Structure 1
Amino acid sequence: MRKTALFLTLSFLILSPTTTYATTTESSLAPHAASAVLMDADTGAVIFAKNPHQRRPIASVTKLASLLLFMEALDKRQMHENDSVTTSSYAASMGGSQIFLKEGEKMSVHDLLKAIALASANDATVALAEHLAGTQDRFVAMMNQKSRTLGLEDTHFQNSNGLPAADHYASAYDLAQLSRALLAHKRITMYTSSYSDYIRKNTPKPFWLVNTNKLIRFYPGMDGLKTGYTKDAKYCLAATAKRQNLRFIAVVLGEPTAPIRNAEVAMLMNDGFSRFTKKPLYAKNQTVVMVPVSRGKWKAVAAITREDVGILTDKANGNPIVHYVVNWRPVAAPVFQGQKLGEVVGFIQKSRVVTYDLIAQTDVPKITWWLMIQRIFQDLIHFGSSAS
């Protein structure tokens, strides 16, 4: 292999008892939903779709976008879970689901997040939005910008909590993608997986929170994410469940009742877990290849996986060959930790089904002049000893 090669590909073949799968559209899985999607959370593969791009009112499922911004702010240390948030008169005025915040009341970010994730509290959502962005309007602008960044083409927000508003909508597909982005923040399921909790614990009036997603208690593996209901939106749910190495996202919009909504989400999840398996390829943070680095302090950097890498396959289909390729290019310093260096591409038969990024494990700064001179002398000495 020449050192000057610009593009390198490693290919591996794996025998697997599965083959390519197609998106299911049979309405028997969600007959009462106006729209629905079942998606593999890791790959984004759509397994079931019913009117997936139809723009609809989504009620409190809106809070997925708010929670995503809150999780990002925590990860970036723009706010902390023990920060104290002071309730504005505007936040205290919210109707619908609420924890009855009073103007001037102080509550921690942690407790506000519990109130949003479990009780779908509109007042808590606005209080935290104002804490992060200054005003709800600025926060809503952030929500819409995030939607554009994620490529959500059928989503637009007018507020942070999903109270009825004109020109406020999303599609089932967009909400599934939004859920994927939210699940990238492992902290979120620490909140959404609880069935009940308390806020104002050390006060004369502790407030009991009960999760509006009853499947958390009754469906094995369910650990999120968000329910919603208004008269126009009807009953909505963006749910996620994990069993072994499979995680699915099910979104239903416009269901006639809460029991029917829950039953149809359970049917979607059952379909996913019964039909599919995942062939593991690499674990999260596993080194896949050492990528050469020119003009770097080190001559190579480990390209690692950002997440568990696998290929989703349908148990019902034949016995084809599943394969994957690892693509990468040599890079020049500086290299930054987390920088994309290549990708793992999975195929079933000849169909490309999934792509995972490979990222730099560490920084590689540019080589110094002194180290470059040392390296040249070392190479000369090595060349001389080899020649003799």
Structure 2
Amino acid sequence: MRKTVRTVLWIIFFWMTTVLRICAAQCQLPEEIGELYARSAVVIDGSSGRVLFGKNADETMPMASTTKIMTCILALENGDPEDIVEVSQNAAGQPEVHLGSGVGETFYLKDLLYALMLESYNDAAVMIAEQVSGSVEEFAGLMNQKAKELGCNETHFVTPNGLDSTDDEGVHQTTAQDLARIMKYCVWDSPKSEEFLEITQARSYFFSNVKGTRSYACDNHNAFLDMYEGVISGKTGFTSAAGYCYVCAVESEGRKFTGVVLACGWPYNRTYKWKDMTKMMDYAKKHYREVRLEYPEEIMYAEVKNGWIDGENPWKNIQIPLCIEKSAGKIILIGDQEKLIRHLEYRNTIEAPVERNMVFGKIQFTLNGVLMAEKRILSETAVAKRKPGNWLVWTLQMFHL
């Protein structure tokens, strides 16, 4: 009894001192970065989605106009750039920053997407939402559905423009970690990623309403595009509740990073977000490298008991080759102090019958105790169950009878 209690206490101690430390290490801000102005921040691997490091990365907070990355990608996926959008009373009544269009005025959806992402116009967001879904409320439902599909379970959208708001389901909010995942999807995973990048990388854009009676000029307010090497997209945001916010995507020597800072100062601290993001991305570039998951090349075998393959000696057990299922190789980012562990597990004996591509085991890669990739180990050959008549068949074959 005492031995059992000691064992249980040791397991609890190990879990608290080792497992919790490992989990915390994935989210803690490295000491080398120092203090951040942002109340919440994160950097994730743009390939795997793994959190590399952060500060209060899973704390729910308002995110202001960074919301508009979701609005933009959903409009690209569900709308037609040549759609004609009419300004409603609701859209025309949106507060600054806004396009200032009048009720009944019409625009092409493509032009509104540039107005949305470059100038962050609040009325453009409402026009887009109403065009795609019929109403802001229906579009918010589409936003929340997409968030759930992406695993962003702590995110709730109420508005398409990010203005502070609440509905029956809760407050308009997200987490730094969720917002980074949404940006990852917009930039690298969505079937409309190329179009999203084209819009968010434009330094300026000029357009007119459909009738050509008014012209508009947009300038990109994502200054980080030209401040930091490797930035390929980003979106700023500010409200009185959210403070200054920023989300961006960076590519460097084949590596992909998504960074987020939330509540990163209030007026007059608009440059804090650039300083924080520079610190985080500098650290990520310096300490994380690409690693391709390597699978064993040696051939594995399994012994099949009581099996029969035409022409084989039925008195002996059959050796069949095993293979690792075919799929694209995976590349992940690993930190200087992290260790990737490969675990191979499969059955080397089995009773017949065996079907081709039967699962015999698996090979897994874990990092900090988290499963990063897994492939199945399969049989390459089918083996029938041995029958009494197989001995006679084999004997006749041996004597060419």
Q: Same fold (TM over 0.5)?
A: yes
* 1:258 aligned counterpart, secondary structure: coil
Q: Is 1:33 aligned with 2:54?
A: no
From 349, 372, 375, the counterpart of 1:354: 372
Q: Is 1:121 aligned with 2:121?
A: yes
Residue identity matched to 1:263: K
Q: What RMSD over aligned residues (CA atoms) do the two structures have, in Å?
A: 3.4
Alignment match, 2:215? 206
Residue identity matched to 1:278: E
Aligned pairs for 1:147-226 (under 5 A) are 147-166=147-166, 167-183=171-187, 184-185=189-190, 186-187=193-194, 188-200=196-208, 203=212, 205-226=214-235
C-alpha distance in 2 between matches for 1:218 and 1:201: 32
Residue identity matched to 2:282: N
Cα distance change of structure 1 residues 156 and 201 upon mapping to structure 2, 3 Å threshold: closer
Q: Is the 8 A contact 1:66 1:143 kept in 2?
A: yes
Percent identical across equivalent pairs?
Answer: 25
C-alpha distance in 2 between matches for 1:45 and 1:111: 34
Structure 1 position 238, deviation (Å): 1.0
Choose 128-137 or 25-34, whichever is displaced more: 25-34
Choose 142-151 or 214-223, whichever is displaced more: 142-151
C-alpha distance in 2 between matches for 1:136 and 1:351: 42
Residue identity matched to 2:331: G
Q: Is 1:236 aligned with 2:236?
A: no
C-alpha distance in 1 between matches for 2:147 and 2:277: 24
* 1:255 aligned counterpart, secondary structure: coil
Q: Is the 8 A contact 2:204 2:219 kept in 1?
A: yes
C-alpha distance in 2 between matches for 1:107 and 1:344: 54
Q: Is the 8 A contact 2:69 2:186 kept in 1?
A: yes
C-alpha distance in 2 between matches for 1:231 and 1:81: 33
C-alpha distance in 1 between matches for 2:326 and 2:100: 50
Q: Is the 8 A contact 1:53 1:172 kept in 2?
A: yes
Cα distance change of structure 1 residues 265 and 325 upon mapping to structure 2, 3 Å threshold: farther
Residue identity matched to 1:190: E
Q: Is the 8 A contact 1:30 1:268 kept in 2?
A: no
Residue identity matched to 2:55: K
Q: Is 1:52 aligned with 2:62?
A: no
Moved over 6 A (4+): 324-327, 329-332
| Deviation readout 1:196-232 (Å, 9 max, x if unpaired) | 2222299565322111211012211112222110111
Q: Is 1:69 aligned with 2:74?
A: yes
Alignment match, 1:292? none
Structure 1 position 181, deviation (Å): 2.1
Q: Is the 8 A contact 1:194 1:216 kept in 2?
A: no
C-alpha distance in 2 between matches for 1:344 and 1:121: 50
Structure 1 position 279, deviation (Å): 2.3
Cα distance change of structure 1 residues 175 and 22 upon mapping to structure 2, 3 Å threshold: closer
C-alpha distance in 1 between matches for 2:274 and 2:374: 32
| Deviation readout 1:108-136 (Å, 9 max, x if unpaired) | 12111111121111111111111110111
Cα distance change of structure 1 residues 123 and 264 upon mapping to structure 2, 3 Å threshold: same
* 2:75 aligned counterpart, secondary structure: helix
C-alpha distance in 1 between matches for 2:345 and 2:76: 31
Q: Is the 8 A contact 1:130 1:139 kept in 2?
A: yes
Residue identity matched to 1:262: W
* 2:37 aligned counterpart, secondary structure: coil
Aligned pairs for 1:13-28 (under 5 A) are 22-26=26-30, 28=33
C-alpha distance in 1 between matches for 2:94 and 2:48: 37
Structure 1 position 104, deviation (Å): 1.7
C-alpha distance in 1 between matches for 2:100 and 2:156: 27
Cα distance change of structure 1 residues 345 and 104 upon mapping to structure 2, 3 Å threshold: farther
Q: Is the 8 A contact 2:27 2:55 kept in 1?
A: no
Q: Is 1:313 aligned with 2:334?
A: yes
* 1:67 aligned counterpart, secondary structure: helix
Q: Is the 8 A contact 1:252 1:265 kept in 2?
A: yes
C-alpha distance in 2 between matches for 1:98 and 1:63: 14
Alignment match, 2:281? 269
Residue identity matched to 1:45: R
Q: Is the 8 A contact 1:139 1:160 kept in 2?
A: yes
Residue identity matched to 1:207: Y
Choose 189-198 or 247-256, whichever is displaced more: 189-198
Residue identity matched to 1:49: G
Structure 1 position 92, deviation (Å): 1.6
C-alpha distance in 2 between matches for 1:87 and 1:331: 58
Alignment match, 1:80? 80
C-alpha distance in 2 between matches for 1:165 and 1:42: 32
Alignment match, 1:102? 102
Residue identity matched to 1:103: V
Structure 1 position 106, deviation (Å): 1.7
Structure 1 position 178, deviation (Å): 1.5
Structure 1 position 357, deviation (Å): 9.3
C-alpha distance in 2 between matches for 1:303 and 1:82: 41
Structure 1 position 324, deviation (Å): 8.5
Structure 1 position 71, deviation (Å): 3.1
Q: Is the 8 A contact 2:107 2:209 kept in 1?
A: no
Structure 2 segments unaligned to the other structure (5+ residues): 1-22, 295-324, 347-354, 377-399
Cα distance change of structure 1 residues 107 and 204 upon mapping to structure 2, 3 Å threshold: closer
Cα distance change of structure 1 residues 105 and 276 upon mapping to structure 2, 3 Å threshold: same
Structure 1 position 264, deviation (Å): 0.6
